[in-house]
Amino acid sequence: MSVPLALRERVLAAVDDVADEMLDFAAALVRIPTVNPPGDAYPDAARAIGDRLARGGFAVSLLEAEGRPEHTPAHPRTNVLGVLEGHAPGPCLHLNGHLDVVPPGAGWTGDPFAGVVRDGRLHGRGASDMKAGIAAAVYAAEALRRAGVRLRGRLEISGTVDEESGGLAGVAWLCERGLIARGRTDYVIIPEPFGASRVCVGHRGVWWFELTTLGRTAHGSMPYLGTSAIDQMAAVLETVRLELLPALAGRTTRMPVVPEGSRRATLNVNAVAGGQAGEPVQTPCVADRCTAIFDRRYLPEEGLEPARAEMQALVERVRSRLPELRYELVDRMIVPPVETPAGSPLVAELARAIREVLGREAELVASPGSYDHKHVARIAGVEQCVAYGPGRLELAHQPDEFCDVADIEASTRVLALAMLGLCGASAG
């Protein structure tokens, strides 16, 4: 939709006017320690966002994830949804950010939850991933309001829980209740930290599985009388390292995954536990069980079934050398690859806004890991979904996380122009 240049300029000026307030808001969100696990302080963050949206004319609901086992009195799963009805029929644009941050971990040089802006950066856990992104979405809408813009259609902004632990009480819950749904929702933008000039169009597939080797126990002083499940697992892991990993490294997807290393198929051994691992008191026994958890990222070009068959064939090869090997292979989680369709009008509008704000072409990227896009695509059935927001992916989950103020401001300009372009507008 074509929007007059004067109106676009007025909106950009309004973003400049709200910039300081936006940074204060982002810093205030960082100061709310929404650490997940366990899922602390969600109601505080949801209310802070809801109050700000309500002052901007949004109809706000706080939505507790009733029916989810992780929604408890100690750690309520509180989502927030703001809806701004336009003055005329038109498309519905939904912006969604996750409230939660991962635990700070070690290695910080300052308080991870101080939430300060210093030297052109917002500092703290969640600065990049993704409280700056939420602030950018909220204040892009606020800038439109202050510029006197009346949108057509409907603008929605949600803050949801638990993205870092799978999003089942967050975006998935909203999608299951039809609050994000095909027929209701036309476009979804998730301001995850890919940076002001990048639009993220999806991710590879995820297959988490658990392999357990089953030995036979015996007294540890006579190990030759038993069969060690740990030794068997060692043989499997060695074969993975020597045979599977080089094969995976040789496969590249056409998806523009960043960083480049994740354009390949990958596998990570997430955990290994065998015998009496973790037991405070040890007795001399041959381990009769060893379990390893694998995180396999498969390419759309590979597919899940071939990836699974390849792993099964590998274990069978080990068994041909170790006939005593018995094992169980169990899926833990499967997330098919998601990809915004080529020729997406949502991508085109963001690319146009990036050109206008930054004077450069948008870089289309795919994410190394999965994020809430999967629920939007699979549960809600909304294909027009991207991630676009301020921050640096490499800083996510790191000590001394920060977000460049210039990136937050540029992303807010882009989001404001994209809202204008997608929902159309007239000056009020």
Contacts to Zn ion by CB under 5 A = 129-130, 192
Nearest residue to Zn ion by CB is 129
Nearest to 232 by CA among 291, 281, 182: 291
Give the pair of three-digit tokens for residue 5.
Answer: 């240049």
CB of 130 or CB of 408, closer to Zn ion:
130
Give the pair of three-digit tokens for residue 111.
Answer: 């308080």
CB of 129 or CB of 156, closer to Zn ion:
129
The least distance separating Zn ion from the CB of residue 42, rounded to whole angstroms, comes to: 15
Burial bucket for residue 321 (CB in 10 Å: 0-12, 13-18, 19+): exposed
CB of 168 or CB of 348, closer to Zn ion:
168
The least distance separating Zn ion from the CB of residue 66, rounded to whole angstroms, comes to: 24
Bridging pattern class, strands 121-123 and 266-274:
unpaired
Bridging pattern class, strands 92-98 and 187-190:
parallel
Separation between Cα atoms, residue 245 and residue 110, nearest integer Å: 39
Separation between Cα atoms, residue 171 and residue 152, nearest integer Å: 25
CB of 182 or CB of 397, closer to Zn ion:
397
The least distance separating Zn ion from the CB of residue 397, rounded to whole angstroms, comes to: 9
Nearest to 389 by CA among 338, 354, 356: 354
Separation between Cα atoms, residue 373 and residue 179, nearest integer Å: 15
Element (H, E) at 249: helix 245-249
The least distance separating Zn ion from the CB of residue 192, rounded to whole angstroms, comes to: 5
CB of 165 or CB of 276, closer to Zn ion:
165
The least distance separating Zn ion from the CB of residue 130, rounded to whole angstroms, comes to: 4
- C-alpha torsion 109→113→115→121, nearest 10: 40
The least distance separating Zn ion from the CB of residue 276, rounded to whole angstroms, comes to: 37
CB of 220 or CB of 368, closer to Zn ion:
368
CB of 158 or CB of 212, closer to Zn ion:
158
The least distance separating Zn ion from the CB of residue 133, rounded to whole angstroms, comes to: 8
- CA-angle at 144, arms to 7 and 175, nearest 5°: 130
